[in-house]
Chain A
Amino acid sequence: MFDRRLLLNFDWTLLITVSLLALIGIANLYSATAAWEGSGGGFYLKQFVWFGIGLMLALLICCFDYRHLEHLGVHFYIITLAMLVAVLLVGKTTMGATRWLDLGFFNLQPSEVMKLVIIIAFARYFCRHGHFRGYRLRELIIPLALLALPVVLVLKQPDLGTSLLILFIAGVMVLFAGIRRGVLILLILLALTGAGGGWFMLHDYQKERIRTFLEPERDPLGAGYHIIQSKIAVGSGGMFGKGFMQGTQSQLSFLPERHTDFAFSVFAEEWGFAGCLVLLLLYLFLIIWGVYVARRAADRFGMFLAVGVTAMLFWHIIVNLGMVIGLLPVVGVPLPLFSYGGTSMVTTMIGTGLLLNVSMRRFMF
């Protein structure tokens, strides 16, 4: 089954870009956690291990033709949905939210899996129900239902960040598939009323985060502390930064969560605008390359798959960076390949594996 052409067509550009970002991320983690001892020392090493695991998963995924996923999509969707229900029933609760399933050897976060599964499910639907002149509302009922179930379940955990991300990823895929102008207007209206109604359904801490985002100085030591300290860190980096391991904000521990969600502000402080420019260009290149992979895909399923994965990476990057530099409210979204955490790394690398898969089979029908 393994064709020599697959190796010839292997997408080295993508793999190298992703690896480069991950390595920069690990170096940054080393700096961010250098001042911690004991429990802190091993973060960058653990992240390295996670990257290794992710890399192997990505390469493993390449061995199987992605087209098998089209048939497995339904199964994946049902299993993951069942896991989301299970989380609500028997999940592990930490810090007021129930997001994990304890599988004994590790904790699984089904909402993370759902990001990938919804991409596969949508790719399957839009591949099978092609439409050249834009979808009507009637034809969107099934994908919208497919989307609504997990989003509501994740929202109930409660995990606003992840449910919005799933919504955004699916949104890009729907828009890319094309919808009638009327439907677009309708969906926008629906989203606005949903947002308005949703405000009353938010938990207090979520409302507080949004209020604080709009006006961080309101509570500089409480909820606003993260945003203010992060902005000071980023801003004080200046044009060329304070140098590796020299960031006073981060080294002095004014920065909270500096190894996870706020890892970028450590980078920005130490490498300045110049460093951020390079890093952002790398991320942008990754996104553009993802779109390029979609464009070269051999079939509609592969194309939608690539668009979905790229959208996933894109939204994570945008929401995290937007949060760190004070453009978006604080929602706990990690920066792919950069923030510490096994779940994020594995999800990202599986996504990368799918892109590599679609890319290397571009000439195979």
Chain B
Amino acid sequence: MKNESDAPDLTRRFMLLSLVAVLIFLLLLLRLWYLQVIQAERFQMLSERNRIRYMPIAAPRGPIFDRDGQLLVDNRPAFGVSVMRQDIDDRERLIEQLSLLLDADPEILENRFKAGRRFPFYRPVPLVDDVSRDLLERVQENSLDLPGVLIDVHPMRSYPLEDVAAHIFGYLGEITERELAQSTGKDYRSGDVIGKSGLEQTLETYLRGTEGQRLVEVDVLGKELRVLKIQDPVPGNKVYLTLSQEVQLAAERALGEHSGAVVAMDARSGEILAMASRPSFNPALFARGISGAEWRELLQNPLHPLQNKAIKGQYPPASTFKIVTALAALRAGVATPNTRVDCYGSFTLGNRDFRCWKRTGHGVTDLRKAMRESCDVWFYKVGLDLGIDRLADMAREMGMGESLGFALAGEKEGLIPTRAWKRQRFNAPWYDGETVIAAIGQGYVLSTPLQLAVMSASVANGGQVLRPQIVKRIEGWDGQVIHEARPEVLKTVDFGPGNLAAVQRSLEAAVNEPQATGRASRLDEFKVAGKTGTAQVVRLRDDDRDRAGRVTPFRHRDHALFVAYAPAEAPEIVVAVVVEHGQSGGGTAAPVARAVFEAYFGLNVSAPEAPAGHFGD
């Protein structure tokens, strides 16, 4: 609805608008002319002399404490030597000088220097991260000949317990290109340190802290003249674990030179009191930068020191699985505690004989005796009547065969076989013989020590399958609680009336009565309930089986297992032990559990009872 009558007026307004725009742009251009042409020389000089730069101050990672506030992982000041690339003229000479001064391999220095090309130009490239004071002095004395070389103090992870609980803490390493690409928005740069495994990885965002920065004025050689402004770094949060240092130490000591794992858990809350995996490694190696030789040694060690066997080791649960078989059979009604089976030392199914570990047989056996003396034949018979699927149901209900959602990465699921699983995996039908050996935890059945602990805890606490927790609390430096763990019941198992009590009594018998396989875990002060297990590593033909392991090569020897809880009347702590190639659950694994109990209850710590005589299974 343009009105012709106001056209001249409008034209004037449009002209005015354009004119104002042109004038203001002219003003901007005049200003630019002033800055870029008239004042150019001055600003160019300022720009060249612009020796004010931001230097990052690394934030100490958050400390890790045990449940009682004892420091487990800390930081210590470390001295590093780095260079400003832009201030270096003769790289080769500098690296030669530094390698002499620092007793360092020039090749390593050269490589780190090259790696630093990915850094922003203004950022110092670290060549050596942890220099002793003596070497540091040598560098300082020669600092005049070393333009562009900087010495810095930065926090470095320290592990007072050395290799104890190393798998829980995990280790650190320099961030990789891939991690960098995935970290968008989280402010990581090349050369930053990042958690690679264990809690360092899981809790990276909590532990990392926030980098601070220093605004510094430097001279033409890149040396700091003065600090203009400091923004302090914010250290990472304080992490309190559910771990008890005493129990952890006891577990690791009891395993000693053995290869294996121990999990100790609060049976009421699922809080992990100890999680040991041997052999272990010292995470301090990684903090200061692990050498190629050290890394290879760890990787090639046949006992896998880097692997957390408590969550990544999958073992046949062997006779510890009889707890599950018993509960499943009682619930299904295929057996009662009084069901009697006559054990002649073997069980015949079709044309196959399944041997009891005791060749002479147990004679007439009921549940209590079968559990106490770990009679295989009783469980063969009951297991066959029960069938694999009902057995598998119970095992799954008790937390086996699936991930428990534990805080550390790489938790294995174990394996609880069913007919459907076998059909899918092997496209083959399920055989009764497989049910028979599954009933004693052999064959396809696999579980992690953590799962054994959770399963046993559900027996101890009346049927609650608890999520195992390792982090108790995360606190900021202002004391603010950022995260607090609560017990989490994953599911509750209904064992049927009276069945659980019967199994509990039998487990008490399996530790405390004469003939019990688990006697080595007995305590005078508290009543322990438990079950031994001895897992076949290779299937041996009956006739060359040698229980004493005299001729069996080490890697073929049986694994020793033991699960237990105490006090039997009101269970507080549950322990699961796996000793690889330990041969006898009762002889090797049960004493480890006993040492853990003693540490937990604060009893006079005795030397672990030497395996005496023949303990059987």
Contact = CB atoms under 8 A, between A and B. Distances in A.
B1 interface: yes
Contacts of B9: 132, 178
A151 to B, nearest CB: 23
A38 B181 contact: yes
11 contacts: A36-B120, A37-B119, A232-B43, A236-B44, A252-B121, A268-B32, A273-B36, A273-B37, A280-B32, A318-B24, A326-B31
A35 B35 contact: no
Contact of B28 (A38, A299, A318): A318
Contacts of B27: 327
B37 A248 contact: no
* Interface range for A: 35 or more
Contacts of B44: 235-236, 238
B232 to A, nearest CB: 15
A116 B29 CA distance: 28
Interface string B176-198: 00001101111111100000000
Interface of B: 1-3, 5-6, 9-11, 13-14, 17-18, 21-22, 24-25, 27-29, 31-33, 35-37, 39-40, 42-44, 46-48, 50, 52-54, 118-122, 180-181, 183-190, 215, 228-229
B186 A294 contact: no
Given A42-B184, A234-B32, 10 more contacts: A37-B189, A39-B188, A130-B1, A172-B17, A235-B46, A253-B121, A284-B22, A284-B25, A291-B21, A327-B28
A253 B215 contact: no
B120 to A, nearest CB: 5
B37 A239 contact: yes
A248 B47 contact: yes
B228 to A, nearest CB: 5
Greatest chain A CB density within 10 A among B43, B180, B184 is at: B43
A254 B189 contact: no
Interface string A26-67: 000000000111110010000000000000000000000000
Contacts of B31: 325-327
Given A235-B43, A235-B44, A238-B36, A284 B50 contact: no
B36 A37 contact: no
Name, among A221, A238, A321, the residue most crowded by chain B CB atoms within 10 Å (CB to CB): A238
B17 A176 contact: yes
A273 B33 contact: yes
A254 B42 CA distance: 17
A231 B185 CA distance: 29
B215 to A, nearest CB: 6
A107 to B, nearest CB: 13
A278 to B, nearest CB: 11
A221 B214 CA distance: 11
A224 B364 CA distance: 92
Contacts of B48: 248
B21 A288 contact: yes
Contact of A236 (B14, B28, B32, B47): B47
A38 B191 CA distance: 12
A108 B215 CA distance: 35
Contacts of B24: 318
A300 B10 CA distance: 11
A307 interface: yes
Contacts of B11: 295
Interface in A97-153: 127, 130, 132
Nearest to A274: B36
A283 B25 CA distance: 9
A314 interface: yes
A291 B183 contact: no
Contacts, number: 147
Interface in A161-187: 172, 176, 178
Contact of A284 (B13, B21, B53): B21
A330 interface: no
Contact of A299 (B2, B122, B186): B2
Contacts of A233: 47
Contacts of A280: 25, 28-29, 32
A299 B1 contact: yes
A287 B26 CA distance: 13
A239 B41 CA distance: 10
Given A132-B5, A253-B120, A300-B2, A232 B50 contact: yes
| Among all A-B residue pairs, the 9 with the closest Cβ atoms | A235-B43, A236-B47, A38-B180, A273-B36, A238-B40, A235-B35, A236-B43, A236-B44, A284-B25
A237 interface: yes
A268 B180 CA distance: 31
Contact of A295 (B3, B14, B188): B14
B29 A277 contact: yes
Given A273-B33, A325-B28, A288 B18 contact: yes
B190 A37 contact: yes
B10 to A, nearest CB: 8
Interface string A310-328: 0000100010011001110
A288 B16 CA distance: 11
Nearest to A294: B14
